[in-house]
Amino acid sequence: MTHLTLQAVTRRFGAVHAVDDVDLSVPDGKLVCFLGPSGCGKTTLLRMIAGLEMPSSGSIHFAGRDITRLPANRRDFGMVFQSLALFPHMTVAQNVAYPLKLRKVAKDRQTRRVAELLELIQLPHMADRPVTQLSGGQRQRVAIARAIASEPKLLLLDEPLSALDAKLREAMQVEIRLLQQRLGITTIMVTHDQREAMTMADEIVVMEKGRIAQVGKPLDIYRDPVSEFVADFIGLGNILPVQYDGAGVVSLPGGRRIAVTPNPDTLLADARPAPGSGDAIRLLIRPEDICVKAATEPAHPNRLPGTVTFIRDVGSSLEATIDCAGFTLTAATTPRETPGLALGMPVLAELPPHACKLIAPRAA
């Protein structure tokens, strides 16, 4: 069942289209991440769903009901802001109880509900503690408990983890995801952190300049991005301008030709670009898909000779930059796979055809 549907939603600020003609369906019970760089429209889109901004045009439907012009306080949605917006003069329990108090829920029911939520977020022993005395992660959990206190039908999270340090942020990503799965509540989260989106989401909505660039499961977007923008924004990738002959072979910068396995679902697989239009197509290969071989290995069309110019060693893995005369590649490997890898070493970078993706170039 589709819980939330957006149809041609646009938000203009003067001549600027912050959100431009967005169509989207959010399925029931899933966690969806709006992902993109600053200024791409993801927070504006979330605020329109929340009722804090009104669309300039288009419509928003929730559970079959048109809520486009419905005030925020009548949408029955929970929201956690980037600043968390907890009340510093209140205790943990008072903060969690606040939305119930606004709805004039009976005192005894408020008490029971707050106790349930504090158990859920594993802070029952801190009910009477002022929120100013909590750690960042504890305040985050209290903000989420407050947002779900009134059992909203939709939970909206606006970059709630951005103020946390890296280690705590990763721990909270897991906690929020487990909590969302346990409650089964439909959740939309805004983030500019692709690792966060990959960790938490059932589905990612990648946004670029107010429009949706791609929607899909995290691994589908990572493995099969539809454009250079998506490929570059989601994870590390080697992106090269190429000429495609229409029959499974591309010419790399410098003229070397390698085999690729085009995706039959993309138009690039069936289109032969006009002569001299090599920059119209990009080749993507992820660092972990490049096999680093010794220079003494047998020659192969998809094995490119090169020289190691940089190594980043993080113990369990190696990231090597390889100069291939005309372009560079970044390869991810391990000390076990490539023992003795060193700066200045001649190597062969093998690009498996199935890992070479043809994608559209970045929009001008």
pLDDT at 268: 46
The one-letter code for the residue type at 275 is P
Q: Given its phi and psi angles, is residue 315 left (phi above 0), alpha (psi -120 to 50 degrees) or beta?
A: left
Residue 20's pLDDT band, with cuts at 50, 70 and 90, is very high
User: Which whole number is the average pLDDT over 302-327?
Assistant: 92
Read off the pTM: 0.86
Cβ contact 123:142 at 8 Å: yes
pLDDT at 362: 79
Q: Which of 28-42, 124-138, 277-291, 298-312 has the lowest mean pLDDT?
A: 277-291
- Of 156, 1, 4, the C-alpha closest to 67 is 4
pLDDT at 264: 53
- What are the residue ranges of helices labelled H in 224-292? 228-233
Structural domains of the chain in order of their starting residue, each with its CATH number: 2-228 (3.40.50.300), 236-359 (2.40.50.100)
Higher-pLDDT residue of 301 and 265 is: 301
pLDDT at 364: 60
Residues linked to residue 36 through DSSP beta bridges, in sequence order = none
Q: What percentage of the chain exceeds 70 in pLDDT?
A: 94
User: Which whole number is the average pLDDT over 95-122?
Assistant: 91
CB count within 10 Å of CB 177 equals 17
Q: Does residue 270 register a pLDDT over 50?
A: no
